[in-house]
Structure 1
Amino acid sequence: MGKNYEIERKFLVEFPDVSVLDVKRRIGIVQTYLRSGENGLQRRVRSVDENGSVKYTYTEKLFLSPVTREENEREISSEEYKVLLSEFRKDCPPVEKVRYCFDYHGQLFELDTYPFSDKLAIMELELASPDQEIDFPENVRVLRDVSSDHRYSNAALARAGAFPEQKIGEKD
């Protein structure tokens, strides 16, 4: 796996009406975190279902700053996926989400929705540089930038089963 750097900003948004977005892809994701690798390397596997076709990926991430990370990802077989699942982190339940990839003024946004909220979602955008201007979609209400707030990481959301704004155990 070669070195790939990812610069990404993450925003807490009100759950939008996805029918008004220019959705290119709708993907069901089950993301399972594995025991950490060397030097605090975050490891995970994903089952990705797009239109009934399921693929599996293995990813390693090293966080360099709140918005920049080194990321190495590769597709794996269902057999390798099942073997890696045995290394799951017991303190972190799998993350289930539906991701909508949509285009707005030449920018490809990813909107992650979770089964525990019909009011809030996470919107991400990969950037060419950390200080790149973002042209936000007019049909999405951005509440705030949560790029450096660890409470909004997928792992933290899965552990809590709710957004920090929600009362624990309360479905909205």
Structure 2
Amino acid sequence: MLTLVIGGGGAGTRAHAERLVTACPAPWAYIATAQAYDDEMRERIALHRSRRGEGWTTIDAPLDLIGAIEALPDGRPVLIDCLTLWLANHMLAEHDIEAECQGLADVLSRPRGPWFVVSNEVGQGIVPDNALARRFRDAAGRLNQQVAAVADTVLMMVAGLPLKVK
């Protein structure tokens, strides 16, 4: 079972996904895609880690998300947080975005347990004023569509409230 939890920044996507995962029997896997490029991000990552209690195994996968997913044992509940950070990491590394996203969507189309994926909806605001930001917005939109297409359930978070889309 694959569930996509999507929403804008600060909408409660991660917190809701954590609640969904912990409703499953432990142990749980948390695949984190963030990279700490500065002190603020290091603090943010440390805070997120400190909120998770016993039963969680954290796997850092800023680039090799596919490999991290494939290495999971069958049946393990997993939270993948988040696709937009993973996408940004690949864009900054100048990887083949289409190939990476297609590979990820293929792996996610075959869940081997309850999998919960967090992503940001970045296309509901103004058109970005620079080419890189527009490229990111468009790539994130395509990735979200690919994952939503293979997901069993899609939840849109608005002001901390989940709305079932699919």
Shorter chain as normaliser: what TM range?
under 0.3
TM-score w.r.t. the length of structure 1 is 0.22
Higher relative contact order (CA 8 A, sep 6+): 2
TM-score w.r.t. the length of structure 2 is 0.23
> Hey, which of these two has a bigger chunk of strand by percent?
1
Q: Which has the larger radius of gyration?
A: 1
